[in-house]
Structure 1
């Protein structure tokens, strides 16, 4: 399969990643095109499903969510029905910032945001430990975010 993006598309994506609210005319100046072709390229990338949406990125620290814990989860059952049940249940927990199915010594890796250790303990006791098919968990508390929300250049 060939790459559908040319260098101008990549410049557009990099600029939108840095600032999704950039004016089309300003974006055109940055990439060397007028407003109409830039808008057409963006629309085409949206239709391709390459651009899936635009959103505000909130500061977890300003929201009081400075505590980050990574949680390994091992399941008692990894058949499709059990995985689907776990996936649906974990999506309903607001404190779960990210969740990945893992190939390795455990089944899932969760990134949990909370106010502090007491808040995390409540989330673990009331929500995470009640997820379907959970056999065991291991928690790792982050001391410092070295790289967060880094988007590689295209």
Structure 2
């Protein structure tokens, strides 16, 4: 399975999509994804404040003085978790497969000018999420430049 994200365009919006196979059941993966303490370790700017229900809020802080909220728009435990972050949509779905599950992570947004950098960032964040799910110590790999090159080539865009 290719762990690299793909970029799709539809109706003037763009979506980055990543798939990862995990050797854990959806219930365990969903818990790690939505538990405030682990969510804030892999998701950028998350503060750990989350009201896990449809319409519930997720608090974010960019570390430079800007605080904002996301709103949970989809919640079907243990298979779907989706929310709106400003104008962007995040959707994480889990599907039982073999001896585990397939996680599909989709980020939908309006402007593709940051697609390469955004894909690079999500790739790295999802690597950390997988480490957390697998009970490994968190290690942020120094692979941003390489990933930007890969995504720039894949999307045929300047990094």
Do these two structures clear the TM 0.5 threshold for a shared fold by scoring above it? no
Q: Which has the higher helix share?
A: 1
Q: What TM-score does the superposition give when structure 2 sets the normalisation length?
A: 0.30
Q: What TM-score does the superposition give when structure 1 sets the normalisation length?
A: 0.31
Which protein has the larger Cα radius of gyration, Structure 1 or Structure 2? 1
Could you say which structure has the greater relative contact order, defined with CA pairs below 8 angstroms and 6 or more residues apart? 1
